[in-house]
Amino acid sequence: MAAADDEKKKWAPLVNALEPGSAFLRAQKLGGGVSAVVTLLEWRRPNGETARCVVRQHGAADLRRNPRLAADEFKLLRQLEDAGLPVPGALYADPDGELLGSPCVVTRYVEGATAVAEGQHQQAVDEMAAVLSQIHLAGCQAPDLSFLPVYEEIAWAKLNHPPSVPDEALSESRIRAALLEAWPLRGRNGGTLLHGDYWPGNLLWQDGRLAAVLDWEDAAVGDPLSDLAGSRLELLWAYGPDAMETFTRAYTARMSGIDYTDLPYWELYAALRPAGSLAHWGLLEDAERRMRERHRWFVEEAFRRLRVTS
């Protein structure tokens, strides 16, 4: 009983801020939140109907990077919803943490699942490419993205702060050396909106269609090739090389105006991101071994293409 009272005391102020006169029903922690605490919140409206939303409380590391992250994510989601993109609609933001003790952004609850049936991978990766291209095109038309960080600056900071012990199992020193030699990249494509972490785990599917793109805390402005490269590695891990190439062909067919010369460099940067952390992801032994093998192949392919074009 005491636990239930504590839950009500914690969440009732937010429920009242969302819909005055409503009554808190329950709060359930959702899985999938890696860098944030994600909670499904339910309440009873004054008319007796039940309503639901998702509350996202950002982690300490993200808030150190951007103390106004909740406000920025709320503003971005509003813009993307207005542009017709499949995102969870933004309902409320508490950037100062007055209600829960930490900043949060509140969005509509979207039904769906991140898993895609084995026989639907082809259709899924094609739709993934379509939506990613829509995100990048929407960024070119967005009224204001000045509140977002510049991705190339984030990448440069990462390159300039190597760990004391490089992850040589993932070729970290070799990758860093190649990127530092080439940096800054020529930036042939200018800057557009980037999701920053566009992978299957951040996508909700409903009846075979992409219902929502989640987790926008890594959004930035930069070269769209950085998103493409990251998605290529994630799809290689999740579904294999055929799915990765299908996704790439579908994206490039829609984004023919992009210069893809620097894609191998952005692939190397994408391959750098799991360095030092992959061993701590809690993967089963076979899954980790497969991911390491595919990562090695991905890196070698990027270097091979750089040698061909040099």
| Whether residue 234 sits in one domain with residue 135 | yes
Q: Is residue 95 part of a domain?
A: yes
| Contacts for 265 with CB less than 8 Å, ≥ 6 apart | 178, 179, 182, 185, 302, 306
| Whether residue 147 sits in one domain with residue 46 | no
CATH number at residue 39: 3.30.200.20
| Whether residue 271 sits in one domain with residue 150 | yes
| Contacts for 220 with CB less than 8 Å, ≥ 6 apart | 148, 149, 150, 151, 154, 194, 196
* Model confidence pLDDT, tens digit, residues 226-259: 999 999 999 999 999 999 999 999 999 999 999 9
> Which pLDDT does position 23 carry in this prediction?
96
**Which domain range does residue 59 map to?**
1-108
| Whether residue 185 sits in one domain with residue 62 | no
Q: Is residue 60 part of a domain?
A: yes
Quick one: pLDDT band at residue 152, thresholds 50, 70, 90?
A: very high
| Whether residue 272 sits in one domain with residue 141 | yes
pLDDT winner (highest mean) among 33-37, 56-60, 114-118, 301-305 = 301-305
| Whether residue 134 sits in one domain with residue 104 | no
> Which pLDDT does position 33 carry in this prediction?
57
Tell which of 54, 81, 108 closes a domain. Answer: 108
Mean of pLDDT values over 91-116: 96
Q: Is residue 115 part of a domain?
A: no
| Whether residue 72 sits in one domain with residue 182 | no
> Which pLDDT does position 227 carry in this prediction?
99
Tell which of 108, 138, 164 closes a domain. Answer: 108
| Whether residue 150 sits in one domain with residue 85 | no
Q: Is residue 256 part of a domain?
A: yes
Average pLDDT for the chain:
94
| Whether residue 143 sits in one domain with residue 34 | no
Q: Is residue 113 part of a domain?
A: no
pLDDT more than 90, % of the chain: 85
What is the number of domains present in the chain? 2
Mean of pLDDT values over 143-158: 94
Distance of CA 245 to the CA centre of its chain: 20
| Whether residue 254 sits in one domain with residue 139 | yes
Q: Is residue 114 part of a domain?
A: no
Distance of CA 310 to the CA centre of its chain: 32
Quick one: pLDDT band at residue 310, thresholds 50, 70, 90?
A: low
Q: What is the 3-state secondary structure (H, E, C) of the chain?
A: CHHHHHHHHHHHHHHHHHCCCCEEEEEEECCCCCCEEEEEEEEECCCCCEEEEEEEEECHHHHHHCCCHHHHHHHHHHHHHHCCCCCCCEEEEECCCCCCCCCEEEEECCCCECCCCHHHHHHHHHHHHHHHHHHHHHHHHCCCCCCCCEHHHHHHHHHCCCCCCCCHHHCHHHHHHHHHHHCCCCCCCCCEEECCCCCHHHEEEECCEEEEECCCCCCEEECHHHHHHHHHHHHHHHHCHHHHHHHHHHHHHHCCCCCCCCHHHHHHHHHHCCCCCHHHCCCCHHHHHHHHHHHHHHHHHHHHHHHHHC
Mean of pLDDT values over 21-46: 90
Mean of pLDDT values over 190-219: 95
pTM of the model: 0.94
| Whether residue 99 sits in one domain with residue 141 | no
Mean of pLDDT values over 209-237: 97
- Asked whether 55 and 41 are in contact (CB, 8 A), the reply is yes
In this predicted structure, which of 57-71, 94-108, 152-166, 198-212 has the lowest mean pLDDT?
57-71
| Whether residue 233 sits in one domain with residue 96 | no
Token code pair at residue 16:
């009242």
Q: Is residue 17 part of a domain?
A: yes
CATH number at residue 241: 3.90.1200.10
Q: Is residue 34 part of a domain?
A: yes
Tell which of 108, 139, 160 closes a domain. Answer: 108
First CA to last CA distance, the chain: 69
